[in-house]
Amino acid sequence: MKKKFIVHVDMDAFFAAIEQRDNPQYRLRPVVVGADPKGGKGRGVVSTASYEARRFGIHSAMPISIAYKKCPKAVFLPVDMEKYSLVSNQLYKILYNFTPNIEPISIDEAFLDITGSYHLFGTSLETCQLIKRQIKKETGLTASLGLAPIKMAAKIASDLEKPDGMVEVTQEGLLDFLWPLDVCKIWGLGQKSEAVLKNMGIMTIGDLAKRDVKELAALFGKTGAHFWRLANGIDEREVETQREAKSISNELTFDKDTLDRKRIEAAFVSLCEKVSGRLRHEGFKGKTITLKIRLQDFKTYTRAAALDKSTNFFDTIYKEIKYIYENFNNEGKLVRLIGVKVSNLIPADFDDTLFSDIIDKKNEAIHKAVDTIKERFGNTAIYRAGSKT
């Protein structure tokens, strides 16, 4: 089997790093990009925190009021999505110089398959080092990269030596790399599943790999077998370019199972904004909106609705998702995971209605000023919607 060389590129504290780059007075200071804290009474969440702010325990998706209490002297800045989008476009232009096989994950994160192109730049590792240098040279920002034969290992590797990290995992050393790691590093493993595994004495990825796959399948169904395969270095997921996109989705596993309406609605806002941004960036709009819900008993449900016309607008997606959720009977059970998906995609510039709506044209103009891909939580739309929850 031909060796694969998958790269995971993850920019370091992207929004905050851009602000520190553009404002020298913010360098080496804790910077928090997100909602207005309003003296600790603000609503909304943290979008990105600089590494200086993270030392105070501040992280993405944290309520802005808590971030303020942890570090009231931090520099709190609003999201400037138009500026961040321009830098993101710069980033992707750099990446496309190294391979056409790119899977955008967010505004500051992507998978690259350099299997067929790395030889143009030297070895696979030298190619990654060159990518890092070009990003630094052209944007003034640092990125952390993971190089591995499978996507999961590349993603894990990119996070191990942040900021400005570079970790290579070879095919021969894949299991030696994976097995000592905490089982929580398994891609897609939520905290509740982690707790179940650790109660079984499965503390590391290696522990998981050595268990009977049938035992795991009995506990978690198909997901258990999937986790076992990942633990054994088997990850057949390809780097999917936008030409292959059939749907765009994002999901979130809560730290603790919840029925808190505000928490759930805030998560919907964040997920809908990320899906909306990814659709616009990848040049699609969709007609089918799907809500995924996993309850405390691990039972998973999906509910879908078909729109009259395709969209990639945040407000349309959010309105539909919220309506679906409000009409879902969870029988009083706590919510563990939620996901938002838009499918039945068509090119964004294709008209699937006979008449052009003036309101849609205005919405399109507004959305063009908003970042085309958002992984991090928070933007102006989120703040406005969050203030109503």
Question: Which residues are the active-site residues?
Answer: 109
Contact between residue 278 and residue 242 where contact means Cβ atoms under 8 Å apart: no
Question: How far apart (Å, rounded) are the C-alpha atoms in residues 366 and 337?
Answer: 30
Contact between residue 307 and residue 317 where contact means Cβ atoms under 8 Å apart: no
Q: Of the candidates 167, 163, 198, which has an alpha carbon nearest to the alpha carbon of residue 183?
A: 198
User: In 3-state terms, what secondary structure has residue 343?
Assistant: strand
- Cα–Cα distances in Å, from 149 out to 5, 118, 180, 193? 5, 13, 18, 26
Q: Kindly report the number of other CB atoms within 10 A of residue 119's CB atom.
A: 11
First to last CA, the chain: 52
User: In 3-state terms, what secondary structure has residue 273?
Assistant: helix
Question: How far apart (Å, rounded) are the C-alpha atoms in residues 202 and 58?
Answer: 29
- Establish whether the linkage from the previous residue to 37 is cis, with ω within 30° of 0: no
Exposed / middle / buried, residue 98 (Cβ in 10 Å: 0-12, 13-18, 19+): buried
Residue 46 sits at the vertex; the CA angle it makes with 43 and 50, to the nearest 5 degrees, is: 150
Compute the CA torsion angle 102, 105, 106, 112 (nearest 10 deg).
Answer: -30
Q: Where are the beta strands (DSSP E) in the chain?
A: 6-11, 31-34, 46-49, 75-77, 102-106, 109-113, 143-148, 166-168, 247-258, 284-295, 300-311, 335-347
